[in-house]
Amino acid sequence: MNTDRLPGARSLALVGILFVIAPLPVLGSGYYIGVLSRILLFALFALALNIVFGHNDQLFLFMGGLGGVGAYTTALVADSFGVTPWIGLPVAALLCGVIAMSVSWVSARRRFTVILISILTLNLQLVFSEAFIGARDLTGGSTGFPYELFSLSGVADAVGVPTAVVLYYLILAFLLAGMVLYLWLIKSSRYGIAFEAIREDELAAESIGIDVVRYKAIAGFIAGVLIAIAGTLLAREASYITPSIFTFLAVDVIALIVLIVGGIRRTYGPIVGAIIVEVIEAALGTYAANWRTAIFGGLLIILFLYFRSGVIVAAEDLLEDWDISLGGGNGGTPTEADAES
Amino acid sequence: MLKAANIRKKFGGLVAIDGVDLEIGRGEIVALIGPNGAGKTTLFNTITGVLDPEEDTEITFNGEDIVALDTHEIARSGLLRTFQIVRVFGEMTVFENALAGALFGSDESISQEEAEERAREALAFVGLEEKAEMEAGNLPIAQQKQLELARTVASDPDLVLLDEIASGLTPGEISELSNTIRRLRDERGISVFWIEHIMDAIMGTADRIIVLKSGRKIAEGTPEEIQNDEAVAEAYLGEDHS
Amino acid sequence: MVTVSTLAALAVDGLAFGASLALLGVGITLVYGLGEVLNLAIGAFAVIAAITAALLVDGGMSLPIAILAGLAFVGVFGLLVDRTLLSLVYRSEGEERILLGIFTTLGLTVLLEGIMVNYVSSRYSLPLNISPIDVGATVVTGTSAVSIVVTAVIIAVLFLFLNRTFLGKATRTIFQDERGARLVGIDPRKLRTLVFVLSAVVAGLAGILAAARSNVSVANSFQFTTFALIVSIVGGIRSLVGAVVAGLVLGLINTYANFFVGSYFATIILFGAAIVFLLVRPEVMSS
């Protein structure tokens, strides 16, 4: 058991520093800054999915829709009340948190299986997508509206860097905050134990006094908040908000691939997965942009059929296998593992 | 401590539990026996809130009405259970299993340190302290059953319901387990309500035996009385004639 | 003021749309009932059949032959998918299989969409060129009438197959009890293949009818899938009759809503209906 306040704080600090210095060599290139920002954004979506699906067995397939609700709400609150989007964002996060919490609460109360939750949320996703296009007065319909909130250009001018760089660090700050929350939640609080118990065996969890409905609702709320923030920043990254940013294929499918590639329930799974997926995407961008969708579809199939524990885990297993075969028929390996514990 | 009157549970048209009254006192070890399909596990599920009983069922625990409570609330009031097919959290360590019991099983908001202390104590109680860092799923079944028991002990319960905890164990393991269950009562003051098929396990341990058949209580008494009860003999002969 | 004849004409259009929905629902229900795979690629099958037929018509083939060829093509494609992808999915069991089925067919639909947009990116239609039919004061579009009749015939044939033929009865046996089917000497895997091909053809017909009424593009794939999903949620994922009824009712509701409150809201009503049914009767989706 870890006794320090935040287990893994040191490696997170290291990862944070790496991301802080990552843009320095490419400060001038809007393209590379954009790729880096998208890595962070999809890491944030996948982080939310890791909490709610990985650790809580609730497959949310309305991340795009929820992210869109977050993004539109941030802008609309700021616009209609004449306040800064820094007030709009928490309102949006709270709203999405409550929406996601309600979905989790109802699903847990009604004892929905993971499949039912996925179908329910997929339907909600499609409702949101239609509503974004249909509610033209609020959303500007499918043409959308410019999205240049948070007065980042002012900061950029003062520091003397492009606006995209400021946005990158803003996204990084939110992602690192999300990671701190994750480490605390999963690794060092009683929530982590409750989540794990619920994921492994709901009935046994209830029977030792765990309020399953409450913990699932809490996981849903946290995921909703993170998704709202990610959605808002995703629109800000595009500088223009349209319903097409928040479709099932544009957000949910990618976030799912990111999480599975990186490794479900692994602390850095979302970040590793996002790097791999965005690098693939960037590589495709130059050579075969038209094949992007097809390749992600194929990837989804292959991942789920063959690499469900994550590419990294599969690679580690492979290395382990080599170790054993290099060891020359060492039948003692299981005994060693036993002796360790 | 546990008092129930007219427990009834139907599945569609089928009456699974048909008006059972029972009482478990403080410091008692009570066994629940009966042929397969008598409704023993259903009775446990009904008491612990996994299943909702029919309208006029009354169940109180330490004077509190628990019929309307959820499973986790009943657990927190000090009524814990184990399962017929062992349900430890296989991907957690042995220690984390016990810790989960300590953290969530009691109503007071227990501090992390205190919970860890209780978990260690509970593991020592069943003799699993050496295995604390092992993954629970890797334990042999007999030890998983002890861990399940330790998980309930860690939450400092008043009453534990054990569902066929001795099945699948060797005679040596059974006598060790019976011993642990007696210590549960003697050292911890925990009452036990115990479904068991293996008579050797309960005969020397239980203070009282309740016999269930087809959802009804057909006999109740000391082990000696039950052994000599004709209705009980008939109930078993009727089923296990082979 | 909305006249009665307008309402009646809307009803016919609604039933025609509902006929496509019913076919999609039947397609998804057949496969789920038999193999617990929720085929999220069913919409892509519908689009493949419609576009194939449209391309063949463009190439000079006569309409009926082109339609049959489109259906045959999607049937063969279904066979291919069944023998490759689904064989891998069927290796797992229970909830594991359902989840795997959802993800692989989702991946398949994304893959197919991604491939198709590169080759067939415009909108395709299959005009039947049937003149409107006057029924009293109401004018019914010929295409709608044909849609309803064709669907009714196909569904009747399907039910006859399931109720009257040995293969059909075997299929229904597996719907209820896989082990029982094995005992009477039926290989469930072969029946699953047959039924999957059948569902691909039925979905293909839904796509062709949709192309006959207006037009179809690759982007419709996922939309058709979601329609199928909604129908199976409302009708019950294991009930063929439920799928037909739900398809027709939702088609009517959608068409009227479309006329009175607009298309976006009409679509939202469809999804809303599915959500309400999920919340009120979640057991219809459980296995």
The one-digit pLDDT tens for each residue of chain B (242 residues) are 999 999 999 998 889 999 999 999 999 999 999 988 899 999 999 999 999 999 889 999 999 999 999 999 999 999 999 999 999 999 999 999 999 999 998 866 889 899 999 999 999 999 999 999 999 999 999 999 999 999 999 999 999 999 999 888 899 999 988 999 999 999 999 999 999 988 888 888 999 999 999 999 999 999 999 988 888 888 776 654 43
* Chain-centre distance for alpha carbon C63: 21
Is residue A179 domain-resident?
A: yes
Confidence label for A332 from pLDDT (cuts 50, 70 and 90):
very low
Asked whether residue B178 falls in the same domain as residue B212, the answer is yes
What residues have CB less than 8 Å from C22, skipping those under 6 apart?
C151, C155, C231, C243, C244, C246, C247, C248, C251
Q: In the predicted model, is pLDDT for residue A334 greater than 70?
A: no
Report the DSSP beta bridge partners of residue B4: B22, B59
- Give the total number of structural domains in chain A: 2
C102 CB neighbours in chain A (<8 A) are 115, 118
Using a CB–CB cut-off of 8 Å, the residues of C that contact A are 38, 85, 88-89, 95, 98-100, 102-104, 106-115, 117-118, 222, 226, 229-230, 233, 262-265, 267-268, 271-272, 274-275, 278-279, 282, 285-286
- E strand residue ranges, A56-102: none
Q: How many CA atoms lie within 13 A of C120 on its CB side?
A: 25
Shortest Cα–Cα distance, A317 to chain C (Å): 21
Q: What average pLDDT does the segment A98-119 reach?
A: 93
- What interface predicted TM-score (ipTM) does this complex get? 0.92
Q: For residue B65, which amino acid is it?
A: D
Residue A147 and residue A278 in one domain = yes
User: Strand (E) positions, chain B?
Assistant: 2-11, 14-24, 29-33, 58-61, 64-65, 79-81, 159-163, 191-195, 208-213, 216-221
Instruction: Answer yes or no: do A116 and C267 touch at CB < 8 A.
Output: no
- Please give the Cα distance from B105 to B150 (Å, whole number): 12
Angstrom CA distances, B82 to A255, B48, B52, B163, C259, stand at 39, 11, 19, 6, 59
Is the CB of B101 less than 8 angstroms away from the CB of A194? Answer: no
Percent of chain A with pLDDT over 70: 90
B71 and B168 assigned to the same domain: yes
Counting the structural domains of chain C, the total is 1
For the segment A28-75, what is each residue's pLDDT rounded down to a tens digit? Answer: 788 899 999 999 999 999 999 999 999 999 999 999 999 999 999 999
Mutate to test the interface with C, among A60, A103, A104, A119 (most CBs of C within 10 A): A119
DSSP state of B22: E
pTM of the model: 0.89
C42 contacts C199 by C-beta, under 8 angstroms: yes
How many Cβ atoms are within 10 Å of B118's Cβ, its own excluded?
A: 22
Same domain, B50 and B153: no
Closest Cα of chain A to C112: distance in Å? 7
Cβ neighbours around A83 below 10 Å, total = 12
Asked if residue A119 is part of any domain, the answer here is: yes
CATH of residue C50's domain is 1.10.3470
Question: What are the b/e assignments for C249-260, b being 16+ CB within 10 Å?
Answer: bbbbbbbbbbbe
Chain B residues whose CB is inside 8 A of the A212 CB are: 72
**A113: CATH:** 1.10.3470
Confidence category of residue A322, pLDDT binned at 50, 70, 90? low
Residue C20: domain span: 4-285
Q: A321 and A301 in one domain?
A: no
List, as own/partner pairs, every contact residues B218-225 make where C-beta atoms lie below 8 angstroms and the sequence separation is at least 24, other chains included.
Answer: B218/B34, B223/B31
Where chain C has pLDDT below 50, the residues are: 287
Separation of alpha carbons C106 and C141, rounded Å: 35
Whether residues A138 and A268 share a domain: the answer is yes
Indicate if B180 and B241 belong to the same structural domain.
Answer: yes
Q: Mean pLDDT, chain A, as a whole number? A: 88
**Cβ–Cβ gap A209/B135 under 8 Å:** no
Say which residue, A336 or C184, is predicted with more confidence: C184
Tell me how close the Cα of A105 comes to any Cα of chain B, in angstroms: 15
- Chain C touching partners, 3 or more CB pairs below 8 A: A
Same domain as A329, residue A269: no
Contact C71, C225 (CB under 8 A): no
Query: What whole-number distance in Å separates Cα of residue A243 and Cα of residue A254?
Result: 16
Q: Residue C135: in which H helix or E strand, if any?
A: strand C133-135
Q: Are C268 and A131 in contact (CB < 8 Å)?
A: yes
Please report which confidence band the pLDDT of residue A100 belongs to, taking 50, 70 and 90 as the band edges: very high
Based on the fold, state whether residues A333 and A295 are members of the same structural domain.
no
In a domain, residue A1? The reply is no
**Does one domain contain both A178 and A289?**
yes
Tell me which amino acid residue A287 is.
Y
pLDDT surpassing 60 at residue A161: yes
For residue A57, give the chain C residue with the closest CA: C99
* A72 and A97 together in one domain: yes
User: Which pLDDT band, with edges at 50, 70 and 90, does A286 fall under?
Assistant: low
Cα(C66)–Cα(C74) distance, rounded to whole angstroms?
12
| Closest CB from C85, C226, C229 relative to A301 | C85
- C271–A297 C-beta distance less than 8 A: no
Q: Which chains touch B (3 or more CB pairs under 8 A)?
A: A
**Same-domain status, A212 and A331:** no
Residue B154: name the closest of B232, B92, B78 by CA. B78
Q: What is the number of domains present in chain B?
A: 2
Q: CATH number of the domain at B218, please.
A: 3.40.50.300
CB within 8 Å of B221: residues ≥ 6 apart: B208, B209, B229
Domain extent, residue B234, equals 1-78+161-242
Q: Which residues form the domain of A326?
A: 311-341
pLDDT of residue A341: 33
Confidence class of residue A338 from pLDDT cuts 50, 70 and 90? very low
* pLDDT score for C36: 84
Chain A nearest CA to C134, separation (Å):
35
Query: A333 and A293, same structural domain?
Result: no
